[in-house]
Amino acid sequence: MIAQLISIGNEITSGQTVDTNSAWLAQRLAEFGVPCVRHQTIADEIEPIRHAIDDAAGRSDLVIITGGLGPTPDDLTRQALADAMGVELEFHEPSLQHIEAYFAQRKRRMHEGNRQQAYLPAGSDALHNERGTAPGIRARLHNADIYCVPGVPSEMRDMFAVHIRPQLEKQSGGSAMRIGILRTIGVSESEIGERLKDLMRRDRNPTVGTSAADLVISIRVVAHGPTRDIAQSSLDADLSEIRVRLGNVIFGENDDTVESAVGKLLIERQLTIATAESCTGGLVAKRLTDLPGSSAYLRSGFITYANESKTDLLGVPASLIAEHGAVSESVAKAMAENCRTRSRTDIALSTTGIAGPTGGTPTKPVGLVYVGIATTDETVVKELRLGDNITRDQVRERTVRILLNMLRLRLLRRADHDRNPS
Amino acid sequence: MIAQLISIGNEITSGQTVDTNSAWLAQRLAEFGVPCVRHQTIADEIEPIRHAIDDAAGRSDLVIITGGLGPTPDDLTRQALADAMGVELEFHEPSLQHIEAYFAQRKRRMHEGNRQQAYLPAGSDALHNERGTAPGIRARLHNADIYCVPGVPSEMRDMFAVHIRPQLEKQSGGSAMRIGILRTIGVSESEIGERLKDLMRRDRNPTVGTSAADLVISIRVVAHGPTRDIAQSSLDADLSEIRVRLGNVIFGENDDTVESAVGKLLIERQLTIATAESCTGGLVAKRLTDLPGSSAYLRSGFITYANESKTDLLGVPASLIAEHGAVSESVAKAMAENCRTRSRTDIALSTTGIAGPTGGTPTKPVGLVYVGIATTDETVVKELRLGDNITRDQVRERTVRILLNMLRLRLLRRADHDRNPS
C-alpha cells in the first residue's frame, strides 16, 4: 500500500505559507508502514487540481487531500474531485444542518458561501468535522481511497484521528497493528543501528526502523498480530528490550521533546532552575518556558550578552574575563554558579560561545561554546565544538539541545544515586 | 509563463524534513511575475521522478527540480531526467575536472560515487556549482525549460542567483522588469488596499499587490518597461509614492524583518538596550540576538518568570505585585524602568502576560499581555488583548513582534523630534 498527499492553496504554491501538513501526515502514515511517494501542492485552479487528483489516484492506493474545502469561490476541492470522478456535486442535507448548527451555537450569522460546503461529489461520503464548518469527504477513484480534509492544521489532525487512522488500523493486512516510537539523543543513528541490529532485520515482526532529525534519533516499532492484544504484547516486548539496551539515551516517546522530558523531571523532583545565557541570548529559557506549567520550575534567567553585564548582573569578576576571555570554561562556571546563588534555585544553566558568522579566531572558532550546569553538589562545564560550517541559528539551537540533554542525564543519575547511595 | 517545482528526497516525502526550498523559490518566481501552479515532492525512486518531470514539463513553461544530484545510489535526478527526455546519460569531462578540483582544494579524497555527478542527459547543459560538487543541469523537455539544482538550501539559492535569475530577467517578455518589495506592520491588508487602491488596478504598470503573513503585510511592485532604466524609474516612482502614503508603517524592504529594522536603528543611533521578560521567557532577547553584530546594542536581559524573581532581580516591590497582580500595567512599568537602571542601558523593554493555555481568568484572560518601553525620557506601557483562540506560541510570538514594532516607531519619532525640536 502506498500513499500520496495533495495540499491545495495559493498561499502555499506562492510560498507565503510553508506546508507543514504534508510532513505531519507522512510521519503518521509511516507509523502504519504506509510509505508516501509523492506530495503535491496545487494552486486554487480547478483543472490543475483535477489533474493532480486523477494522477495521484491512478498511481497509489490512498490519497489524502488537505485544503480547498472553505466557503469562498476559490475553494475548489469539491468540484475538482467531482470532475476527476466524472460525477456532479450533490446537495447533502445533514451537512447543511451541521453547518447551520455550528453557526447557531456560536451565535454567528451563516454566510451564503457556507451552503456550498454541503455539496459533495455524487457517490462520496461526508466526514463529520467536530471543529469547523467544512465536512470532509471520502471517495473512491481508480483503485484508491480518497480523503479530503480541511487545511487548518488542528482540524486536519482531528479529522485524521477520527476518520483516517481507524481505517488504516482496519486495513493493516486484516490483522491488528500496534506502533510505538521512542526518541533518543546523544548517540548516532549508526550506533543505534549497531545496538539494535538483530531487531532491525527486515523479515522480522515487529519491524524496527530509525530516522534522524537534527540531533534526535527516533526508533519506530511496528508490531503485527492476529489480534490487537497479541500485537500489543509483541510491541511491548520489543519496546522493553530496546529500553534495556539503550537506557538513558531514550528521553521519551511519541511527541516528547528534550525540553518536555527535562520539564517533567524537574516537576517530579520539585526542583527549581535558572539560566545565565550569553551566545544563546535567551533561547534556553525560551525553550524551558515553551511548555504550559513551566512556572513550576523556571524561576528566572539572566541574559548577559555584554562582558560588563556578566560582571554587573552575575558578579563574574572582570579580571576572570580579562584573563580567560568571555568564551571560556572559567566564565561558564562562574556564570552558572553565581546565577544559581542569585536566583536561589536548585540548578542553574549557563552558555557562552561564538555563534558566528563573525567573531571567530583560530583559537576560538565559530561554533566553540561552553555550557555549564551548577547544582548544590557541584558545577560541570563542557566544551562544545559545533563546527564553523553551520549557521548562527544552528549553533544556538544545538547548544540548547545538548545542554538540556546534559541536564536530563544529570537528573537521572542523581535519582539513581538517591535510590542507591554508596 | 507558468512554473512548477519538484523536490526530490525520501527525507521530505517521509516527513522528516519540511521542504522550505519550494516556498523560497515560489517567492522568487513571483517577484518575476511567474506564478507557480504546482510543487511536487517525490521519493528517491526512479519511475515516480521520471513521471513527475514528464508531467510537470508537459503542463508548464519552467520546471525547477531541487535535490537528487548527490553522489550516492539513491540520487536519481540525472537518470530520471534522461529517461523523461528519452536519452542516455553522457560523461561530461569539465564537470569531472570541477569535482576533482573541489576535493583537491579541500585536501579531501574524492569518492568513486562522485564520478556519477559528471554524467548528464545527452543534449543538456552543465551548470557550474561554486559551492559544492554537484553540477546543476539545464535541459528542454516538451515546451519547458528544466533546471536541476542541489537540494542544500545555500547551494540552491546560489545556483538560482547565478543560473536561473538572469534567464528570468532576459525572458520577461522581451522587455525589462524590475521588482521591489516593501514590508509593513501595524495596519491591516484591507486598509493598505484602501490607501493604495488606484495603484492596485490590475491594468496598470507597475502592478502592485499585497500579501499577509502573520502581522506583516508585504507590498510587491512589479514594473515593466522597454528598457531596464525605464522600468527602474517607474518602479522607483511607485515605491516613493507608496512610502509617502504609508509612512512609518513600512519597516523595510526585501528580506528585512521587524527585528532587523530595530537592530539597524539601534546601531545607527548608538543606543543600548536590555530586556525584562516574564511571559515571553527570553524570546524578546532571542529575537534581538538573532542578528550577527547584535552585541553592539543588546547588553543584558532578565527573565523574571516567578513573582519573587521580579522582586529579587528587578526590585519590583512585592506589594505592587500583591496589589495589581504580576500581569498589570504597574508591574510592566516597574520591570522596564528597573531593568533600564540595573542594566545601565538607554532603553529597556518589558513583557508580562498570560500566554496560556491555562492560567486565564475572566478579568485576566489568556492573551492579555502588558508590554513596556522605558527610555531616558519616559516609560510607556501598552495593554494587548491577543484573544484566547490562539496558541501559547502565537501569544508569545505576537507579543514580541508588536513590542519590537512599538520600539521601532518610538525610535523613528525620537529621530524626528531630534531633527525638529519644538
Q: What is the set of domains in chain A, with CATH numbers?
A: 3-171 (3.40.980.10), 176-253 (3.30.70.2860), 258-419 (3.90.950.20)
Instruction: Give pLDDT, residue B103.
Output: 85
Least confident of A322-331, A342-351, A368-377, B19-28: B19-28
Instruction: Specify the length of chain A in residues.
Output: 422
Q: How far is B92 from chain A (nearest CA, A)?
A: 29
- B127-148: pLDDT as tens digits: 998 878 889 999 999 999 999 9
User: Positive or negative CA dihedral for B252, B254, B257, B260?
Assistant: negative
**A chain contacts of residue B292, beta-carbon cutoff 8 Å:** 356-358, 392
Cβ within 8 Å, pair A298-B306:
yes
Locate the chain B residue with the closest alpha carbon to A55.
B55
Residue A77 has φ and ψ, to the nearest 5°, of: -60, -45
B404: left (phi over 0), alpha (psi -120 to 50) or beta: alpha
Cβ within 8 Å, pair A305-B298:
yes
Residue A237 has φ and ψ, to the nearest 5°, of: -65, -45
All cell numbers assigned to B422: 519644538
User: What does the pLDDT average to over B14-32?
Assistant: 84
Under 8 Å between Cβ of A189 and A202: no
Position of cell 512599538?
B406
Strand boundaries in A169-263, DSSP class E: 176-185, 207-213, 216-225, 250-253
Residue A260 has φ and ψ, to the nearest 5°, of: -70, -35
At A215, the amino acid letter reads L
* B421 prior amide bond cis, ω within 30: no
Cα–Cα distance between A132 and A161 in angstroms, integer? 15
Under 8 Å between Cβ of A286 and A276: no
| DSSP code of residue B143 | T
> Largest Cα–Cα distance in chain B?
81
- SS3 at position B157: helix
User: What does the pLDDT average to over A334-357?
Assistant: 96
Cα–Cα distance between B185 and B199 in angstroms, integer? 19
Under 8 Å between Cβ of A374 and A337: yes
First-to-final CA distance of chain A: 55
- A181-228: pLDDT as tens digits: 899 999 887 788 889 989 988 789 998 887 777 788 888 888 888 877
Under 8 Å between Cβ of A309 and A277: no
Angle of CA points A51, A53, A54, to nearest 5°? 65
Under 8 Å between Cβ of B26 and B36: yes
Instruction: Give pLDDT, residue B7.
Output: 96
Q: Answer whether 0.90 is exceeded by the pTM.
A: no
Q: How far is CA B307 from CA A276, A293, B319, in A?
A: 18, 15, 11
Please check the confidence at residue A174 and state whether its pLDDT lies above 80.
Answer: no
Residue A169: CB atoms within 10 A of its CB come to 14
Question: What mean pLDDT value characterizes chain A?
Answer: 90
Instruction: Give pLDDT, residue B87.
Output: 96
Instruction: Give pLDDT, residue B420.
Output: 66
Banded pLDDT at B228 (limits 50, 70, 90): confident
Angle of CA points B36, B39, B42, to nearest 5°? 160
Please check the confidence at residue A17 and state whether its pLDDT lies above 80.
Answer: no
First-to-final CA distance of chain B: 55
**B chain contacts of residue A281, beta-carbon cutoff 8 Å:** 282, 285-286, 288-290, 294, 298, 301
Instruction: Give pLDDT, residue B214.
Output: 72
- SS3 at position A356: coil
Least confident of A23-32, A92-101, B88-97: A23-32
Nearest-by-Cβ selection for A282 from B24, B299, B301? B301
Cα–Cα distance between A45 and B36 in angstroms, integer? 11
At A353, the amino acid letter reads G
**A chain contacts of residue B27, beta-carbon cutoff 8 Å:** 14-16
All cell numbers assigned to A204: 522480522
- B350-367: pLDDT as tens digits: 999 999 888 889 999 999
- SS3 at position B365: coil
Helix axes B46-58 and B77-85, enclosed angle (nearest 10): 50
**B chain contacts of residue A12, beta-carbon cutoff 8 Å:** 23, 39
Position of cell 489480534?
A227
User: What does the pLDDT average to over B230-251?
Assistant: 95
Instruction: Give pLDDT, residue A419.
Output: 67
User: What does the pLDDT average to over A173-180?
Assistant: 69
Cβ within 8 Å, pair A343-B313:
yes
Cβ within 8 Å, pair B282-A300:
no
Instruction: Give pLDDT, residue B345.
Output: 96
- B284-319: pLDDT as tens digits: 999 999 999 999 999 999 999 999 999 999 999 999
Instruction: Give pLDDT, residue A173.
Output: 56
Please check the confidence at residue A248 and state whether its pLDDT lies above 60.
Answer: yes
Least confident of A131-135, A145-149, A299-303: A131-135
**B chain contacts of residue A305, beta-carbon cutoff 8 Å:** 285, 289, 294-295, 298-301
Contacts of A104 (CB under 8 A, 6+ apart): none
Banded pLDDT at B162 (limits 50, 70, 90): very high
Instruction: Give pLDDT, residue A422.
Output: 52
Instruction: Give pLDDT, residue A202.
Output: 73
Of A100-109, A171-180, B337-346, give the range with the top mean pLDDT.
B337-346
Please check the confidence at residue B403 and state whether its pLDDT lies above 90.
Answer: yes
Position of cell 489533474?
A51
Bridge partners of B121, per DSSP, are B89
Sheet holding B207-213, edge to edge: B207-213, B216-225, B176-185, B250-253
Position of cell 533600564?
B340
At A280, the amino acid letter reads T
Instruction: Give pLDDT, residue A332.
Output: 98
Q: B64 vs B230, which has greater pLDDT?
A: B64
At B314, the amino acid letter reads L
User: What does the pLDDT average to over A254-264?
Assistant: 92
Under 8 Å between Cβ of A288 and B272: no
With CA atoms as reference, report the closest residue to B146 among B83, B75, B209: B83
Which site among A286, A399, A403 would you substitute to test the B interface, given the most B Cβ atoms closer than 10 Å to its Cβ? A286
Least confident of A233-237, A253-257, B277-281: A253-257
| DSSP code of residue A186 | S
Of A276-290, B125-139, B146-160, give the range with the top mean pLDDT.
A276-290
- A24-79: pLDDT as tens digits: 999 888 777 788 899 999 998 999 999 999 999 999 999 999 999 988 778 899 99
Q: How many helices (H) and strands (E) does chain B have?
A: 15, 17
Least confident of A25-29, A304-308, B17-21: B17-21
Residue B61 has φ and ψ, to the nearest 5°, of: -105, -20
- B28-43: pLDDT as tens digits: 887 777 888 999 999 9
Cα–Cα distance between A22 and A32 in angstroms, integer? 16
With CA atoms as reference, report the closest residue to B88 among B76, B99, B79, B75: B79
Instruction: Give pLDDT, residue A107.
Output: 78
- How much of chain A exceeds pLDDT 90, in percent? 63
Residue A172: CB atoms within 10 A of its CB come to 19
Q: How far is A16 from chain B (nearest CA, A)?
A: 7
User: Positive or negative CA dihedral for A309, A315, A319, A323?
Assistant: negative
| DSSP code of residue B293 | T
Instruction: Give pLDDT, residue B422.
Output: 52
Instruction: Give pLDDT, residue A305.
Output: 92
Residue B144 has φ and ψ, to the nearest 5°, of: -110, 150
Cα–Cα distance between A42 and B24 in angstroms, integer? 16
User: What does the pLDDT average to over B372-384?
Assistant: 96
Please check the confidence at residue B198 and state whether its pLDDT lies above 80.
Answer: yes
Banded pLDDT at A159 (limits 50, 70, 90): very high
With CA atoms as reference, report the closest residue to A334 among B93, A62, A324, A344: A324
Please check the confidence at residue B94 and state whether its pLDDT lies above 60.
Answer: yes
- How much of chain A exceeds pLDDT 70, in percent? 96
Which site among A20, A156, A275, A289 would you substitute to test the B interface, given the most B Cβ atoms closer than 10 Å to its Cβ? A289
ipTM confidence score: 0.74
At B238, the amino acid letter reads D
- Taking only Cα atoms into account, the Rg of chain B, rounded to an integer number of angstroms, comes to 27
Which site among B45, B51, B219, B289 would you substitute to test the A interface, given the most A Cβ atoms closer than 10 Å to its Cβ? B289
Contacts of A404 (CB under 8 A, 6+ apart): A258, A259, A262, A284, A287, A288
Q: How far is A288 from chain B (nearest CA, A)?
A: 8
Instruction: Give pLDDT, residue B188.
Output: 83
Nearest 10 degrees: Cα torsion A251, A253, A259, A262: -50
